[in-house]
Amino acid sequence: MPWGHISNGKFLFRQRGCMGCHRYEGYDKEPEDLTSIAQQMKLFEQQKIDNAKISADLMKQADSASSNDEANRFNQQAVALRVANSKIDGQVQQLDFQTHSLMQDVKKIGPNLKDVRLKLNRDWIPVWLKKPSDFRPTTKMPNFRLTDHQIQTISAYLWQAGFTDALPKQKPGNAEHGQQLFETRGCLACHSIGEGDQTQGGTFAANLTRVGEKANYDYLVRWIHNARERTRPYCPYEKKDIGPEDYAKKGLPYQFDLQHSQCPNDGHELQVQNMTVMPSLRLSPEDAADIATYLMGEKKQEPSSYAQASFMEDPELKEEGKKWIRHYGCAGCHEISGFEDEGRIGTELTYEGSKPIERLDFALFTEISQRGGKGSEPITDPEDLARLPEGPAKEPWYDHKGFFEHKLAEPNVYDKGKVKSETEVLRMPNLHLSKLEIQDLTTFLLGSEESSLPSGYQYKPGDSRRDIQEGWWIVRKYNCVGCHQFTPDQSTILMGMKRYQDIQEQLPPKLLTEGARVDPEWLRKFLSNPALSTTDTNRNGVRPYLQVRMPTFSFSDNELRKLVRFFQAISQQPMPYIPEQVPSLSTKENDMARSLFSSTAAPCLKCHATGDPQHDKIATAPNFLLAKERLKPDWAERWILDPQAISPGTAMPSGLFKRENNHWVFSGPTPPSFQGYDRDHSKLLIDYIFQLTAEEQRRVAASMGRSSAAVQPRSKQKQAATQSGGASIGGSR
């Protein structure tokens, strides 16, 4: 379907790094916004200097004034300028707040190459640059057709410009335990392992089969433990990396993170995180070392078997390498020392579909593409030829579709037959795309047209539809769809893996009605801190029985706001949310509800976690004590009435209640106290659950023969009520 190709092409444009070289309206706006803010700050700083100077001059004039009236007039002008500077300080502070959020938002497609000396085997780098797809066939890194000399100069610059800070030495880990963690914590929702028919996992991030040939173990441990951890923060205002010496001059500890993000030199916001979408799984240092040890064993050859690349230490090669890095736009995808402010090198593609055909450079193939027929196909390389969606050209292809498809299949095709210097040849690298990917991107570009319609007729919603658009952008940015199901027709990477076929209850929860299910304020807190604890972070906050871990993404305030509004909008929930008041139960109603909660016809505590470690090992649903903080009561009642309608395939049993005399009554046996009760039994049970206390849950567990199923110690009950959120009633979905 064309709409499917357009949608896929839209996300491919970002995922394959096209936006690193080509500007497209709506993509990767954060660097532009940061540049704009930096310029505003410079203007404000200059204005403050000018105001202070004029104010000082006015005070001098006031001192030498011939009358009191004249002196007062000068003083008032000087005071007004000081007040103006105070207002500027407030504006600068707001710009710093925006910068803090934007710096969390901005992400690079490729890794931070300032760390190249710390993270990589030096001799591996030139081999990788020669043709990345030879080392890793599924890599996003394109093939640049570099000469051997260009490879040497680029390698030399990257190596010599990299950080040389010492890394903490890490102890060897347990590879067997590391493999178990890698396969169960959720790494395979993004990454893959194995090659060919043995490949398992996702395609969002790198295949890690040969990591052991290129990686430095000490750096890999740090990366797995917290991929966002930088070696040094970067100051966009001063345009330099900030080291311990900068902090020492101000008598400050060398500490930088999201809570300590101000530059010691000028007070402006620092980039304190690696610009990667990879989150933190909140692993212990030991677990991170175990996974790293396992991955270091993934190799086809020893790191020492690569040819010595001592030329990378040559300073003359470094200087030339700077030219080629700029020429090929490497900083569009990577963070590189000295290239932090580099712009895009490619053509803007926002309206590429509207470009007149005469402005598309078919080069020497203009006439051939117009004529078509035998001999009209310029691509001869078998690999590139196989990428064309409709195979070799047989009909005329002098149109936008033909141009885009050939350009994407073999980016240097329009250089054929021409004599050009190294700096004149077409720079676009070969992205080694599949036929379907080329079809998706081509359709996307064909649809990139400048509209002649007035803006009022264009689809630019400002209501909840806008919230859905912005939310999907973030969901795809961080590959949330790798673990979670958002729509009934969507499959996740983990759902397709063999290990989960017989243990579906161990899959991450479906988010089909998340906005209707949870309190938006709770959701904001949970997305900020999925462990729901500031001390015990090596766990899942809501579903501790799951082996797969909900990561910490370090979302910015801007991203959190958009995600919360997205979930509300996609479930058609009103904003702002006004919580429903749960009525208090009488003693009789409480006893009645307890009989439902503990009924053998619906033993709620059999599946739900209780806080008892032994029981919770086999739990498949969250603790009821979390419900009142997290869930919406109206959703909870709909859930217990018909869970399959909300989450098809859930383990939560259906048929617990039946409709009688316009009321929902319990399907199982009820005590005599229910005679004459004219309220819905389902509503009664929900009201009970939303008022459940630790003591009450312990009493019920004891009456069911599991007195050991106690909940948190009394000292932790208050802490749980504030730190924890909610539970999904019945089943982990």
CA-to-CA separations, 152 to 424, 438, 614, in angstroms, rounded: 20, 32, 59
> pLDDT at residue 698 above 70?
yes
Q: How far apart are CA 516 and CA 636, in angstroms?
A: 9
pLDDT at 425: 97
574 burial (CB, 10 Å; 0-12 / 13-18 / 19+) is exposed
Q: For residue 714, name the pLDDT band (cuts at 50, 70, 90).
A: very low
**Helices (H) and strands (E) in the chain — how many of each?**
30, 7
Tokens of 80: 């007004």
The residue-averaged pLDDT of 42-59 equals 95
Pick the CATH number of 468-570 from 1.10.760, 1.20.1260, 3.30.200, 1.25.40: 1.10.760
pLDDT tens for 495-532 read 999 999 988 889 999 999 999 999 999 999 999 999 99
Is residue 429 scored above 70 in pLDDT?
A: yes
d(CA 94, CA 97): 5
Is residue 637 very low, low, confident or very high in pLDDT (cuts 50, 70, 90)? very high
In single-letter form, the type of residue at position 142 comes to: P
Give me the DSSP letters along 277-318: ---B----HHHHHHHHHHHHT--SS-GGGSPP-GGGG-HHHH
C-alpha distances in Å from residue 640, one per residue of 297, 469, 595, 596: 48, 31, 16, 12
Q: Which residues contact 400 (CB under 8 A, 6 or more apart)?
A: 353, 355, 357, 360, 445, 446
| Percent of the residues in the chain that have a pLDDT greater than 90, as a whole number | 84
Fold match between 113-228+274-332 and 587-723? yes
Structure-block tokens of residue 524: 């904001």
Task: Sketch the domain layout of the chain as residue ranges.
Answer: 29-105, 113-228+274-332, 352-446, 468-570, 587-723
pLDDT of 707 over the 70 cut: no
Q: Do 650 and 505 touch, CB atoms closer than 8 A?
A: no
Torsion sign over Cα 527, 529, 531, 533:
negative
pLDDT digits (tens, 9 = 90+) for 643-670: 999 999 898 999 999 999 999 999 999 9
**3-class SS of residue 48:** helix
Q: Contact, 607 vs 709, CB < 8 A?
A: no
Rounded Cα distance, 227 and 156, in Å: 25
Please name which of 525, 512, 529 lies closest in space to residue 564, comparing C-alpha atoms. 525
84 pLDDT above the threshold of 70: yes
User: Which residue in the block uniquely carries the two structure tokens 């209780």?
Assistant: 610
- pLDDT over threshold 90, residue 312: yes
621 band by pLDDT with thresholds 50, 70 and 90: very high
**Strand, helix or coil at 390?**
coil
Task: Identify the bridge partners of residue 213 per DSSP, sorted by sequence position.
Answer: none
How far is residue 637 CA from its own chain's centroid? 33
Average pLDDT over residues 591-601: 94
Residue tagged 């141009």 (tokens): 403
* Cα-based angle 394, 399, 400 (whole degrees, multiple of 5): 120
> How far, rounded to the nearest angstrom, does the alpha carbon of residue 414 sit from its chain's CA centroid?
37
Give which of 448, 228, 459 is closest to 351, Cα–Cα.
Answer: 448
- Cα–Cα distance measured from residue 4 to residue 482, given in angstroms and rounded to the nearest whole number: 19
Copy the structure tokens of residue 425: 């040849």
Tell me the sheet residues that pair with 257.
260
The C-alpha atoms of residue 510 and residue 490 are separated, in whole angstroms, by 10
What is the Cα–Cα distance from 36 to 304, expressed in whole angstroms?
47
Q: For the chain, how big is the Rg over CA atoms in Å?
A: 31
Rounded distance, CA 689 to CA 590, Å? 10
Question: pLDDT (tens digit, 9 = 90+) per residue, 447-491?
Answer: 999 988 888 888 889 899 999 999 999 999 999 999 999 999 999
Give me the CATH topology for the region 587-723: Cytochrome Bc1 Complex; Chain D, domain 2 (1.10.760)
Q: Is residue 712's pLDDT more than 60?
A: no
CA distance 186 to 483: 8
Short-list 680, 676, 653, 678, CA closest to 666: 680
Domain 113-228+274-332 coded CATH 2.40.128: no
Q: Which two tokens stand for residue 657?
A: 């209640």
Distance CA 321, CA 323 (A): 5
Asked whether residue 719 carries a pLDDT value surpassing 50, the answer given is no
Angle (CA) 400 401 407, round 5°: 90
Q: In the predicted model, what is the mean pLDDT of the chain?
A: 92
Of 581, 603, 584, the residue nearest 684 (C-alpha): 584
> Residue written as tokens 């766990």?
539
More confident residue, 726 or 360: 360
Give me the mean pLDDT over the 307-335 stretch. 97
- pLDDT class of 726 with cuts at 50, 70, 90: very low
Q: What is this structure's pTM?
A: 0.90
Q: How far is CA 11 from CA 114, 433, 475, 560, 708, in A?
A: 27, 14, 11, 21, 50
Token digits for 438? 């080329």
Give 134's DSSP letter.
H
DSSP-derived 3-state class of residue 469: helix
List pLDDT tens digits, range 6-27: 889 999 999 999 999 999 998 9
Between the two ends of the chain, the Cα-to-Cα distance in Å is: 31
Burial of 225 (0-12, 13-18, 19+ CB in 10 A): buried
Query: For the segment 182-218, what is each residue's pLDDT rounded down to a tens digit?
Result: 999 999 999 999 999 999 999 999 999 999 999 999 9
Please, what is the angle between helix 464-477 and helix 2-15, to 10°? Answer: 50
Distance CA 429, CA 432 (A): 9
Q: What is the pLDDT of residue 3?
A: 60
- Rounded Cα gap, residues 375 and 371, in angstroms: 10
- The mean pLDDT value for 579-604 works out to 93
Look at residue 706 in the predicted model and tell me its pLDDT: 52
Q: Residue 92's CB: how many other CB atoms inside 10 A? A: 18
- Give the pair of three-digit tokens for residue 67: 């009358």
Cross-strand pairs, 192: 201, 207
* Nearest-10 crossing angle of helices 714-723, 694-703: 120
The DSSP secondary structure of 231-285, one letter per residue, reads EEEEETTTTEE--HHHHHHTT--S--BTTB-B-TTT-PBPEEE-S----B----H
- What's the one-letter identity of residue 557? D
Distance between CA atoms of residues 680 and 688, nearest Å: 13
